[in-house]
Structure formats: structure tokens, C-alpha cells
Amino acid sequence: MAEEEYTYEYIVVHLPHLILASGSPRRKQWLEALRIPFTLVIPNIDETPHLNEGAQALVERLAQAKAEHVGRDHTESWVLAADTTVSLKGKILNKPVDSSDAMAMLQSLQGQTHEVHTACCLRRKERSILIHDVARVTFRSMSEKEIKWYVSTKEPMDKAGAYAIQGQGAYFIEKVEGSYATVMGLPIEKLIPHLKSLGLLRAWVLLPD
């Protein structure tokens, strides 16, 4: 029996265009990898945590606020916004304000297991879809020299928890429990079914010649 030959074709369903409300290169790269057309709009909102606000509540509130903020000017498009933070024993570690802050964060994380919370919000007009995921990351023990070197690379300075799992920060990671994508800033496994149901995701399909 002769083997069938297959070719790849796109099945594309177009619904309203997607707006990515984020300045994160990692989130941009995820959408590009999925071949999802989008326009980038960077939101400008106050990201200060509320008093006694937990990590999940914080990222969910900020993801929704970013989507709502950008959605006001793009009412016919779906807006995707996200937020990520690190929580160590209930203490939120956002982006470091300076090198000393980054040093302190990394010193507290070394040899410990922390949580990375990411939420994303898909919004169009009054319809909103909120997704949350959490992963657990364990750092190995780190010397002061290693921490100083890493801070000197500047990589920690715009990252929650002062490290990038997809960059040189991977050197310090002992174990990840949960989604790698969630740690990077987008819970892609939970997001994809919603993108598909809204017609925003291109699907590769095997079709026989």
C-alpha cells in the first residue's frame, strides 16, 4: 500500500483583530511563535500592589486593568493583557527598583522554592475572559559572587523576582513545577483553547494531497 503524502495548509478564521497590551518581549514572542497576527499597545497603569493584596489577586487585577485601559480605544478588537509576579512565603517580589533591590531579591530566593503567578485577560467590549496559573520554582544555593555577576548583566532589572528563566537566570534554577510558559509570563497552555474558540489562532492542519 502506497504511503500517502501530506502537505501543510493554513486554516484561518478571522474574527476581530488581536491587540497585545504588553511591553514584554516574551509575550510578544509567544504570539509570534503561534503565528497570531496582533498589534502591540503598551498600557500605562499604576501597578502598585494594594495593602495586604495577595499574588493571585494582584496579577488578576492588573491583567484586567490593562485590558480595560487599552480596550477603551480599541472597542472592536480583542485585547490580551497579562501580569506576572513572584511570591516567596507570601511576600510579593515585583520588578526590582535598583541593583541593590535585585541583589536582595536574589539572596532571598537562593536555596528556596517560590511561586510565580501569571494572569491574563482577554477582553472585547463587555466580554472578559480571565485566566490564572501558578508555577513553583526552586533556586539552587548561590554565592554572593554569582549574584553580583548576574545583577551586573542587567538582566534582572525589568523582571518580576529579578530573574529571567529563559535567559542567564536559568543557571540558578534547580527545578520547575508547573508551566514554563507561566514563569515566562503567559499561561499559554490555558490560553490557547480560548484563542482557538475565538478564532484568533491559526491552526496547522495535515491534509492529504
**Catalytic residue ranges:** 83
The length of the chain in residues reads: 209
**How far, in Å, CA of 10 to CA of 204, rounded?**
5
Sign of the Cα pseudo-torsion (178, 183, 186, 188, in order): negative
β-bridge pairing 6-11 and 203-208: antiparallel
CB 41 within 8 A of CB 21: yes
HSE at residue 63, side-chain half, CA atoms within 13 A, is 28
| Block residue for cell numbers 528563566 | 165
**How far, in Å, CA of 45 to CA of 63, rounded?**
10
For residue 86, list its beta bridge partners: 93, 116
